[in-house]
């Protein structure tokens, strides 16, 4: 009998052929066989033909299902839970910081421009498929109501996670600043540690494929990876049977962006743990010779001596070197942290647990809604009605954290929506991240000036400190910024990075410099 591979890569049986090498045809006129033998042989050929064609149909349906699942795993399960507006968040779109050559045939350098172009094409195809699936659903009115409810629930979960993780990121940043400002510290601008830590976590989340392996209930990408490892570099397997890791990874990335917990970690925690405005503030203070420095020597602690805010006069050349030092150290260390986090995700893959889908959807998401809004309301009440408001002791604790927690969600949500609607405008220049970083830096400069004028009282000073640490600290981000720098093409990366630092520093010089070099900064009326 003769068989050949069809266009879909399946083996199809065509029955016996008239040549010298074939088996005897069931329709042969040989007189050596009886009629009964010919009937039996014909029935046997029919059974073989049915079996081969059935196997071919089964293989074709299996391959089609695998292709459909790899290309769009979420269409049938969470069609309404895939808000395409999340696609412009660069912390969710950027290619992985470490594109390992161990991925074999899928290894190639990916830029943010290419990734965003393919992402837009992928979203268009996804939208077409979703529209087609909606048309075939039964009960169109019920399905539309269910889809609207699902999208609304997903957005509520995302906003709640952003609020909750803005608290955690802000507290982590303030705590790390406090414990890294000590006598003899080798690095005096303690904001560096928070920016490095947030970039490290961002790199880990970008490269990790285990925490959210289950995606929306099915570990599709993980199954594709395991299947590819078994196949290896076997070139003999046809293209129809080989695993398309590129399509599977794109589908996994697109799916992961719709998981509220992942959006909260990447955009909420990492974005609020790092602060671009505080980084530029330290750059300006280094330029103006006002950078706070820990007291390092015993003579500094004499009754009448220096403070952490007082410095020895120096010339302009030394100030310029200090400016360059903060910029170079911060950018280099944060980019290194991004890659270190990615390396950790790769090396610790076998030890990283996976979050069960039902636990995340049924427990974590509703709990986040309750905690986020409850904590925000509690912070506002504590700021308005402090427990020790009737005490005569100096009140300092609200200025350290409470006011920052009140303003933190506003900054985080502002950055989220600005990036969501602006980052897709210019492919080679993330406009949303740029705008929030410049705007947050300008607001921080104005708040810093108002703090250092001989007007107002302690409460006003603490509110301004809360705006700097909470609103500006969460509105601006370094983790997303360095992730974009590492993902853009080289020319665009240098242009974007230089424009961000130079323009932000110019705003600081205009806002803070005019006051610093005219009337000077007065002493703070509140203790941080």
Residue 338 has a pLDDT of 96
Task: Tell me how far apart the alpha carbons of residues 141 and 173 are, in angstroms, rounded to a whole number.
Answer: 48
344 part of a folded domain: yes
Quick check: is 523 in a domain? no
pLDDT band at 269, cuts 50/70/90?
very high
Q: Look at the block and give the residue holding tokens 């050929």.
A: 45
Residues 362 and 457 in one domain: yes
524 within domain boundaries: no
The reply to whether 280 and 370 lie within a common domain is yes
Residue ending a domain, choose from 71, 92, 125: 71
Note whether 433 and 202 are within 8 A (CB): no
Note whether 298 and 400 are same-domain residues: yes
| 316-347 vs 479-487: helix crossing angle, rounded to 10 | 80
Residue 113 lies in a domain: yes
Domain-embedded: residue 86: yes
Instruction: Tell me what pLDDT residue 201 has.
Output: 96
Tokens of 301: 């602690």
8 and 104, same structural domain?
no
Task: For residues 278 and 275, give the distance between their C-alpha atoms in angstroms, rounded to a whole number.
Answer: 6
Cα R_g (the chain), whole angstroms: 31
Tell me whether residue 374 is exposed, middle or buried, using C-beta atoms within 10 angstroms of its C-beta: 0 to 12, 13 to 18, 19 or more. Answer: exposed
3-state class (DSSP) for residue 3: strand
505 neighbors 282 (Cβ within 8 angstroms): no
Q: Which residues fall within 8 angstroms of residue 138, CB to CB, at 6 or more apart?
A: none
Give residue 53's pLDDT band: very low, low, confident or very high (50, 70, 90).
Answer: low
Q: 11 has which bridge partners?
A: 5
Which sign does the torsion angle of CA 280, 283, 289, 295 carry?
A: positive
Weakest-pLDDT range from 47-51, 282-286, 287-291, 380-384: 47-51
Bridge partner list, 3: 13
> Mean pLDDT over all residues of the chain?
77
Q: Maximum distance among all alpha carbons in the chain?
A: 125
Residue ranges of alpha helices (H) inside 452-520 are: 458-466, 473-475, 479-487, 490-508, 514-516
Nearest to 415 by CA among 272, 258, 255: 272
Q: Are residues 20 and 148 in the same domain?
A: no
266, 471, 485, 419: CA torsion to nearest 10: 70
Indicate whether 140 pLDDT > 60: no
Asked whether residue 181 is domain-assigned, the answer is yes
Among the candidates 71, 95, 127, a domain finishes at: 71
Q: Which of 53, 71, 89 is the last residue of a domain?
A: 71
How far, in whole angstroms, is CA 476 from its chain's centroid? Answer: 15
Question: 9 pLDDT exceeds 50?
Answer: no
What six digits make up the tokens of 244?
A: 């398309």
- Counted domains in the chain: 2
Q: Are residues 355 and 504 in the same domain?
A: yes
Whether residues 178 and 51 share a domain: the answer is: no
Q: Are residues 17 and 124 in the same domain?
A: no
61 & 91 share domain: no
- CA triplet 330, 335, 337: central angle to 5 degrees? 95
pLDDT given for residue 454 in this prediction: 82
pLDDT at residue number 323 = 94
Same domain, 67 and 149: no
pLDDT bracket for residue 345 (50, 70, 90): very high
Measured CA to CA, the distance from residue 76 to residue 251 in angstroms comes to 13
Same domain, 19 and 125: no
Residue 432 lies in a domain: yes
The answer to which of 92-101, 198-207, 360-369 has the lowest mean pLDDT is: 92-101
pLDDT band of residue 477 (cuts 50, 70, 90) is: very high
Host domain of residue 128: 79-516
Is residue 289's pLDDT more than 80? yes
Query: In angstroms, rounded to a whole number, what is the distance separating the alpha carbons of residues 60 and 329?
Result: 56
- Let me know whether 174 and 85 are in one domain: yes
Whether this model's pTM surpasses 0.85: no
Residue 37 within a domain: yes
The pairing of strands 3-5 and 11-13 is antiparallel
Of 29-33, 36-40, 355-359, 515-519, the poorest mean pLDDT is in 29-33
Which three-class secondary structure state does DSSP give residue 4?
strand
pLDDT at 455: 78
């Amino acid at each position: 009998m003769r068989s050949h591979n069809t266009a879909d890569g399946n083996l199809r049986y065509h029955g016996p052929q008239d040549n010298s090498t074939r088996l005897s045809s069931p329709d042969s006129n040989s007189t050596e066989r009886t009629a009964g033998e010919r009937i039996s042989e014909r029935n046997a050929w029919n059974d073989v033909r049915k079996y081969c064609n059935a196997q071919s149909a089964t293989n074709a349906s299996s391959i089609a299902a695998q292709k459909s699942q790899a290309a769009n795993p979420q269409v049938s399960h969470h069609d309404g839970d895939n808000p395409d507006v999340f696609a412009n968040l660069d912390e969710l779109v950027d290619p992985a910081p470490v594109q390992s050559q161990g991925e074999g045939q899928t290894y190639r350098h990916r830029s943010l421009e290419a990734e965003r172009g393919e992402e837009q094409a992928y979203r268009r195809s996804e939208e077409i498929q979703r529209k087609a699936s909606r048309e075939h659903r039964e009960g169109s009115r019920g399905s539309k109501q269910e889809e609207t409810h699902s999208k609304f629930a997903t957005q509520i979960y995302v906003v709640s996670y952003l609020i909750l993780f803005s608290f955690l990121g802000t507290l982590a940043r303030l705590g790390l600043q406090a414990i890294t400002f000590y006598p003899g510290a080798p690095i005096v601008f303690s904001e560096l540690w928070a920016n490095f830590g947030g970039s490290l976590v961002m790199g880990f989340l970008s490269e990790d494929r285990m925490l959210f392996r289950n995606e929306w209930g099915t570990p599709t990408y993980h199954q594709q990876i395991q299947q590819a490892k078994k196949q290896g570099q076997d070139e003999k397997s046809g293209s129809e049977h080989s695993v398309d890791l590129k399509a599977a990874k794109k589908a996994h990335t697109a799916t992961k962006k719709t998981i509220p917990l992942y959006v909260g970690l990447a955009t909420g925690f990492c974005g609020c743990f790092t602060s671009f405005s505080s980084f530029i503030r330290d750059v300006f203070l280094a330029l103006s010779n006002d950078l706070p420095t820990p007291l390092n020597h015993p003579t500094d602690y004499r009754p009448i001596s220096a403070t952490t805010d007082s410095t020895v006069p120096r010339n302009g050349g030394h100030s310029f070197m200090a400016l360059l030092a903060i910029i170079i150290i911060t950018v280099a260390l944060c980019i290194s942290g991004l890659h270190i986090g990615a390396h950790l995700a790769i090396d610790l893959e076998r030890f990283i647990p996976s979050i069960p889908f039902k636990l995340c959807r049924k427990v974590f998401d509703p709990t986040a809604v309750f905690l986020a809004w409850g904590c925000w309301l509690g912070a506002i009440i504590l700021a308005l009605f402090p427990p020790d408001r009737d005490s005569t002791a100096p009140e300092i604790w609200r200025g350290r954290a409470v006011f920052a927690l009140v303003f933190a969600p506003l900054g985080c949500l502002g950055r989220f929506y600005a990036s969501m609607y602006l980052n897709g405008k210019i492919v080679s220049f993330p406009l949303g991240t740029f705008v929030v970083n410049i705007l947050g830096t300008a607001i921080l400069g104005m708040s810093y000036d108002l703090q250092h004028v001989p007007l107002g009282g302690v409460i006003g000073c603490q509110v301004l400190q809360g705006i700097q640490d909470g609103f500006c600290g969460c509105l601006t981000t370094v983790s997303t910024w360095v992730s974009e720098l590492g993902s853009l093409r080289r020319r665009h990366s240098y242009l974007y990075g230089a424009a961000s630092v130079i323009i932000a520093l110019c705003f600081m010089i205009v806002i803070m410099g005019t006051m610093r070099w005219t009337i000077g900064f007065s002493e703070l009326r509140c203790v941080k």
